[in-house]
Chain A
Amino acid sequence: MSAHEQYAEDLTLYALEALEGEARANLEKHLENCSGCRQELEQVRGDMAMMAMSATGPKPPQGSRQRLLDAIAKEPRGLAVVAGRAPRFNWWAAFGWAAAVAMLVVVIQLRRENWALRESVEQLDSLVGKQTIELENARRVADAITAPDAQQVELVTAKTPAVPRGKAFYLRNKNSLVFVASNLAPLASDRIYELWLLPRSGGPPIAAGLFKPDANGSASVVNPPLPAGVEAKAFAVTLEQESGPHDSPRGTAVMAGGA
């Protein structure tokens, strides 16, 4: 097989170790598969050997032979280490190192994520703990006000006849309303009290729960469904037909109070 003419000049430069960059890479790739060009390369090196003959003449300095033989005597054959020679590149070793570096990067990244997650969990734990305490306090307040067995004592001026009273606790931003009433007159069986929230915006009254007093005239409404974030101007209680409708006040007002 003959050499490819288009590679002839590059083969000469390659043999002289003067071919660089892309041209060198391309030629080496070609040489892997072209025996003709490999043979031509060997021939060019033969030409180089003859060129070297033009330099023959001087003998090595005295002592050089003995120094070499002494050096050889210290080196086991086949294990000589030649100073200045670049080691052959070991792709497997390089792959191993690359894999180790990649694993290290992954481990560092995972540790960072782990720390971030742990921090988030600790923050959430703290928030849950705080909210649990707030909820427990709120429940105790609500229980004290609304529990059936809670003692409710109202102090009024002596000998004043008992009049219906109501108290509304409204937290607009949490949409929470607790209403407790006392001294309510007993109701006919077809009647019911209805609590109303009167918006500060001037809109129509918003139904805030139906209730009937117990035997002591006490009643409560806790967290009825309400539209979110309505600012209250006042609360009122009306006496309504139990059968309804209950979407707007139709009966007589029993009590009212401004917020």
Chain B
Amino acid sequence: MTRKYTATELLASVAAGLLEDNSSVFVGTGLPMIASMLAQRTHAPNLLIIFEAGGIGPQVPVLPISVGDSRTFYRAVSASSMHDVMSASQAGYVDYGFLGAAQIDAYGNLNTTVIGAWDHPTVRFPGSGGANDVGSLCWRTIIVMRQDPRRFVEKLDFLTTPGYLDGPGAREAAGLPAGTGPYRVITQLGLFDFDEATKRMRLLAAHPGVSVRDIEEATSFELIVPDRVDTTEPPTDAALSAMRDIDPTGMVIGK
């Protein structure tokens, strides 16, 4: 019997499970930080965490508020610079990148710029930040976001960050580094990957208590649903304790 957990704790523990020991991960604010710190405190003690402002290989003591926070280079191997970490990503040293988004499409392209027209937006979001760089340069991108029909869309209002663009071969044709692209999508409903042949999003696993129908109803594009859909593992007690230690004020995981 596992303890009660929040949706965010489930997301973070599923995300943490994707990160192997001795791999490198480019981490953004919020849930990606929890997931990476959790992985480092459980199965991946030598996970190399990289922050865009220049923190390399920290042992993050408590959840940072910002990707440039002093906590992002606490007991780090290097307090470096944006040029250095972005160059390392461009040169192929970064295995995983973590991103969030306001909208995603079937090819894993992301929007964090505007809702509505770009020059007359209904809602103005912060823009690319490091997202386009992470989605362009890291080997495998993991996207963590909320799923509903307005967020899982057929057509983005703005393509901020490249997924597989419009299908197989499109990234390479655009000049993006070969062999890169979206790897997994994690939402409050389930876990997804991308079909090798079409590069379209495919359901891998539903969270406990979530049906395939729930997931399809929360998706505005045609989702690939295989015959066999797994159920994700809920967070263990050890993972829950670790997360409450990482985020004692409940800033991201909630209370």
> Do A and B form a real pair?
no
Interface residues of B (CB under 8 A from A): none
Which of A's residues lie within 8 Å of B, judged by CB?
none
